[in-house]
Structure 1
Amino acid sequence: MTADRDLESAGENNPAAGPQRKHSKVFVFFNSLYHWLLCSAYFFPVCSFLVFLSIFVDTRKSDPLQRALTRNTMRLAGVRIETRRAAGYDPVRTYLFIVNHTNLFDPFVLYNAIPQYVRGLELESHFKIPAYGWMMKRFGNIPVPVKPRPADLKKMWRMTRAALDAGVSLVVFAEGQRTLTGRLGPFKEGAFRMAQQFGCPIVPVSVVGSFEFNNKLGWALHPRKIVVHLHEPIETAGLTKEDVPALRDRVREIMARTIDEYYENLQA
């Protein structure tokens, strides 16, 4: 279960840390293997069932089952998820969520933390992953072309517009790749141009503790708590193309502040 708390009253920004016990490499290896096997044994059969179910049942109606899939998968991976919402966050409004990208479990974490009916923009190569890719396609996620050909970009743009118009919130990893340090990398402008053109409000999202759980540098899993900060929404209506760089920088600054404070507290 996720615990929703107001960012204003949260106080500390190091909720995912706490004293972490250091284990031997042998323990980490077998513990990680155990959790990976548990996750896989649960995820792939249930995922395949949900893909089959989507042929007959609208994905909005099966959304509780999809959330249960991701929630239970994260529990089997040894993760506890806590969500902290800003005071101005509206749980029923359509948003474009800009999120830091740390590992392959990010979509699972976010699906538990975000109350809206939400889908994501993911690299088209992810849609080729067995079970997971089939689910992404059936459930209406939007492929981002690896090679940005004009026709593919226009298709992505149309799909994004259609999703937002239908009241579907979207998640975007503005860095375009997973971090190698846990810190926030530079942002691409595409998502911010979309938000400006479509007039969709942006919610900056800072996820802390996820990099320490698992990252691009290895396959090991380190069970822990992950905290998702849903910051104050930023309105984009009335902005022009010239405002996009400033919008991008503002969102990044908000996210980086929380992430940097988290690491400062880890080192204290």
Structure 2
Amino acid sequence: MRIERLRAFAQAWPQRETRRRSRLRHLYLVLRSALLWIVSILHFFPVCTFLVVLGMFIDPRKNDRPQRWFFRNVLRLAGVRFHVRYAPGFDPTRTSIFVCNHVNIFDAFVIYSAIPQFVRGLELETHFKIPAYGWMMKRFGNIPVPKDTNNPAAFRRLLRRAKQALDDGISLIIFAEGTRTRTGRVGPFQRGAFVLAQYTGYPIVPMSIVGSYEFHRTGSWMLYPSTITVYIHDTIETKGMRKEDIDALMARVHRIVAEPVERALAEREAAPEVSSASWRR
């Protein structure tokens, strides 16, 4: 009888040990997430306020370097390892419309740290009401997007304002999905970014954020150890494009943006490391 109990205990031990390690791992991740949020927030608000005040006296173009330091530092303090891969056909000297997948609230920090030129974003007008962050976005010159973009007059005003920014040499970032992913995959694109490209003739640069969904997911406060890689793809010409070509352009850009994301999801299941031999740092 005693031997049977010992045998049963020995057989159950690996499962008990696995559960114990799982609980310890979860506790570690909870404590780590709480600490990273505290450190990030303590860094975010004072530095953000400083940059807002600085922007009252200095043109944002002239203090772009401290802004980039701030955005990248938020990622570091949140525990993110960060890499950028530039495709050979990307032209960093041209004012462009960057179209990117939307993952979580850290996307703005990721993208601003990755694009090697002066750039601003189109954001929902409700974001401009967020304390500190909204003030900073307004002071930096980001463009508010009205909730009702189906209103023709409001959409025309948005197009004119975006064109003026591009004509002034300011590249723009647009999340073409219009919402953050809940699955890790790239959702359907909305037409606005591509209508803007056809209307203005400025080129589009597709961007892919990979690894951010594993770091932080919408609806959760947990921050997991992760490496985020941003792929900046070849520049796509739009000058002379007809309105009839907008849907084909949208499908092409969606395919380009989604490919590294889908590849990473598939390779994560199969375990091998994602190859990046055709990309340059």
Asked if 1:111 is matched to 2:112, the reply is yes
SS, match of residue 80 in structure 1: strand
Aligned mates of 1:88, 1:226 — CA distance in 2: 22
Q: Which deviates the most, 155-164 or 121-130?
A: 155-164
Deviation at 1:29, TM superposition (A): 1.4
Asked if 1:207 is matched to 2:209, the reply is yes
> Which residue matches 1:255?
257
Deviation at 1:153, TM superposition (A): 2.3
Aligned residues with identical type, % of pairs = 53
Deviations 1:198-251 (A, max 9, x none): 001111101100010001131110132100000111100111000000000000
Larger helix proportion of the pair: 2
Deviation at 1:27, TM superposition (A): 1.6
Deviations 1:113-140 (A, max 9, x none): 1001000001111000000000000101
When the two structures are superposed, what TM-score results if normalisation uses the length of structure 1?
A: 0.90
Aligned mates of 1:34, 1:223 — CA distance in 2: 13
> Which residue matches 2:82?
81
Deviation at 1:152, TM superposition (A): 3.0
Asked if 1:120 is matched to 2:121, the reply is yes
- Residue 97 of structure 1 contacts residue 171 of structure 1 at CA under 8 Å; is this kept in 2? yes
Asked if 1:29 is matched to 2:43, the reply is no
Asked if 1:188 is matched to 2:206, the reply is no
Segments of 4+ moved more than 2 angstroms: 21-25, 147-155
Deviations 1:70-95 (A, max 9, x none): 01111000012100001011122111
Aligned mates of 2:152, 2:263 — CA distance in 1: 40
- Residue 81 of structure 1 contacts residue 113 of structure 1 at CA under 8 Å; is this kept in 2? no
Deviation at 1:159, TM superposition (A): 1.4
> Which residue matches 1:45?
46
Aligned length: 248
Aligned mates of 1:92, 1:224 — CA distance in 2: 31
Amino acid at match of 1:95: S
Q: How does 1:80-229 map to 2 (within 5 A)?
A: 80-148=81-149, 149-229=151-231
- Residue 98 of structure 1 contacts residue 174 of structure 1 at CA under 8 Å; is this kept in 2? yes
Deviation at 1:155, TM superposition (A): 2.5
Deviation at 1:156, TM superposition (A): 1.6
> Which residue matches 1:68?
69
Deviations 1:164-184 (A, max 9, x none): 001101000000000001101
Amino acid at match of 2:97: L
SS, match of residue 56 in structure 2: coil
Deviation at 1:151, TM superposition (A): 4.0
> Which residue matches 1:11?
none
When the two structures are superposed, what TM-score results if normalisation uses the length of structure 2?
A: 0.86
SS, match of residue 54 in structure 1: helix
Aligned mates of 1:218, 1:190 — CA distance in 2: 29
Larger Rg: 2
Aligned mates of 1:92, 1:35 — CA distance in 2: 36
SS, match of residue 26 in structure 1: helix
> Which residue matches 2:274?
none
- Residue 77 of structure 1 contacts residue 223 of structure 1 at CA under 8 Å; is this kept in 2? no
Q: Which consecutive residues of structure 1, in runs of 5 or more, have no partner in the other structure?
A: 1-20
